[in-house]
Copies of this chain bind each other. A is one copy, B any other.
Amino acid sequence: MDIVISTLTSPVILFFILGMLAAFARSDLAIPEAIAKGLSLYLMAAIGLKGGVAVSESGFTPELALAAAAGLALSFVIPYFAYVLLTGFGKLDRVNAGAVSAHYGSVSVVTFVTASEIFTGQSMGPAGYMVAVLALMETPAIISGLMLARCGEKRDDNGNGGGLMHEVLLNASVVLLMGSFFIGLIAGPTGFEPIAPLFLVPFTGVLCFFLLDMGLVAARRLVEAKAMTFRLTTLGILFPIVNGTIGTVLGTMIGLDVGSAAALGVLAASASYIAVPAAMRMALPEADPGLYLSMSLGVTFPFNIIFGIPLFAALAQAIG
């Protein structure tokens, strides 16, 4: 219970709620696009560095390999599970269901960052290597989603098959996360010291600012959603609960510490709204972007930030 209250009164979450309220009230508050992109690059570089520095101290442990394997598996498998519900209960056609399912297998960087902040405040900060797991989980789901969307169908070749794989494997967030992870690894704590005043100290404040924007964007998405149905909204809440529970349990089973197991849960529960939508727009232009963005950004993201994070923390503590 404690973690729920302390989550909901932390400035990080309050700024997110402020953003949502402002958008629901149709205020014209808006963070310039360039600033929002800049802040998200900052957040990725910062957690990459922090993770790398941590691993440079702890060394490569068996938990790291196990967590990586678990993350990859979740990212590959979750879309299949989601696809079944999306075509059945959700009444989507194959292409749209495939596109949506890829989002749920992949991950949301900001959800992970917010969870790390809150877990650290509860003295259960996740291990440094979880940043690498985050980066690894971004792309496998895209492959699963595309296979589902195209199964049994002659490929509508846009002549960009190779282009897509390239885009997916070298997309900005993967490169920046892994790149700064390795820089942290090479530089270690002493190399990190001179840049800590930028990448460590103001981190929580920047996250507040960024979540203000995410709140605005998520709520506007929800307000303007044309394609959403009650059934899809339900799935947008069900998916994180189920996937997050699986992730947390799996993390605990393979022997991760409480914070890392909860973080694996958060990763499983989160849905991508940057890398995957762009990839789906390229690979499956017939799918409706309004659909997958409304579900992942409008429904699942706020659910995870406000309810999911404390939920998986409590679960990990209970079974850990």
Residues of A whose CB lies within 8 Å of any CB of B are: 9-12, 14-15, 18, 21-22, 25-35, 37-38, 41-42, 45, 49, 121, 166-167, 170-172, 175-176, 179-180, 183, 186-187, 191-192, 194-199, 201-202, 204-206, 208-209, 212
Contact = CB atoms under 8 A, between A and B. Distances in A.
Given A183-B11, A204-B194, A209 B32 contact: no
A194 B14 CA distance: 14
A198 B191 contact: no
B192 A26 contact: no
Given A28-B167, A191-B11, A179 B18 contact: yes
A195 B208 CA distance: 8
Contacts of A170: 22, 25-28
A180 B28 contact: no
A12 B199 CA distance: 13
A223 to B, nearest CB: 14
Given A183-B11, A192-B11, A202-B197, A29 B209 contact: no
Contacts of A175: 18, 22, 25, 27, 29
Given A32-B38, A198-B202, A198-B204, 18 more contacts: A11-B192, A14-B183, A15-B180, A21-B179, A22-B179, A25-B175, A26-B166, A27-B172, A32-B34, A33-B34, A34-B38, A35-B35, A35-B38, A121-B194, A194-B205, A195-B208, A197-B202, A202-B202
A198 B12 CA distance: 13
A41 to B, nearest CB: 6
**Count of identical protomers in the assembly:** 3
Contact of A14 (B11, B12, B187, B202): B187
A7 to B, nearest CB: 12
Among A10, A29, A192, max chain B CB count under 10 A is at: A29
B9 A187 contact: yes
Contacts of A197: 201-202, 204-205
Among A22, A27, A196, max chain B CB count under 10 A is at: A27
A168 B319 CA distance: 51
16 contacts: A9-B186, A10-B187, A22-B179, A25-B170, A27-B171, A28-B170, A31-B38, A31-B41, A32-B34, A33-B34, A34-B35, A35-B38, A197-B204, A198-B204, A198-B206, A201-B202
Contacts of A206: 198
Among A9, A28, A31, max chain B CB count under 10 A is at: A28
A18 B184 CA distance: 12
A18 B205 contact: no
A10 B195 CA distance: 10
Contacts of A11: 49, 183, 187, 191-192, 194-195
Contacts of A198: 202, 204-206, 208-209
Contacts of A29: 172, 175-176
Among A166, A179, A192, max chain B CB count under 10 A is at: A179
A15 B209 contact: no
